[in-house]
Amino acid sequence: MDPTVIVLAAGRGERFLRSGGATHKLRAPLGGVPVLQRVLHTVEASGLPFHVVRPDGGQAADGMGDSIARGVAATTDASGWLILPGDLPLVGAGTLRLVAQALATDLVVLPFWRGRRGHPVGFGKPCGSSLAMLGGDVGAAAIVRAHRQSGEVRDLAVDDPGIVMDIDTVDDLARAEALLALSSGRGT
């Protein structure tokens, strides 16, 4: 059974708005397609099951820890989880599959591109109770540290700059637009 991709889409996106964004970063167009929609297309293309964590009933947006906990609680039957922030529109479907495959033998999987850690971070089923207890703006870094000390973390090198290309500011969006143009051959 494949792990479930948890797409985190419940954050406030305040940095993007403060940087001059006219809309929430997940609705900002990238190559004519909203950022979150690009992420969802990629997740669907991966063939992995997924769950999207959106703001709860229109209430205040969640912190990353709250969002992870809600996503894991909604998918307790999953064999593991890939935590994917909704603001990484250029991550590849193949990368999602590579992290999922690595979870077959490793408890925690951290993808790296050129020495930079990115997302999605993969967690095996035994991490579920710890992930479900997260809260606030703190993500799963403490869980990763604890398992690294136990030798249960795999650093997975991938050839995918999209794992580190998150959209936090309008400048980030412009960089992603340029990379998208290059990768589609329009930038040459």
**Sequence spans of domains, the chain:** 4-183
Q: Classify 137 as helix, strand or coil.
A: coil
Residue 29, phi-psi category: left (phi > 0), alpha (psi -120 to 50), beta (remainder): beta
Q: What is the pTM of this model?
A: 0.93
pLDDT of residue 187: 43
pLDDT digits (tens, 9 = 90+) for 78-132: 999 999 999 999 999 999 999 999 999 999 999 999 999 999 999 999 999 999 9
Average model confidence (pLDDT) for the chain? 92
Which of 3.40.50.150, 3.90.550.10, 3.40.50.920, 3.30.70.100 would CATH assign to domain 4-183?
3.90.550.10
The more confidently predicted of residues 22 and 61 is 22
CA distance 70 to 8: 10
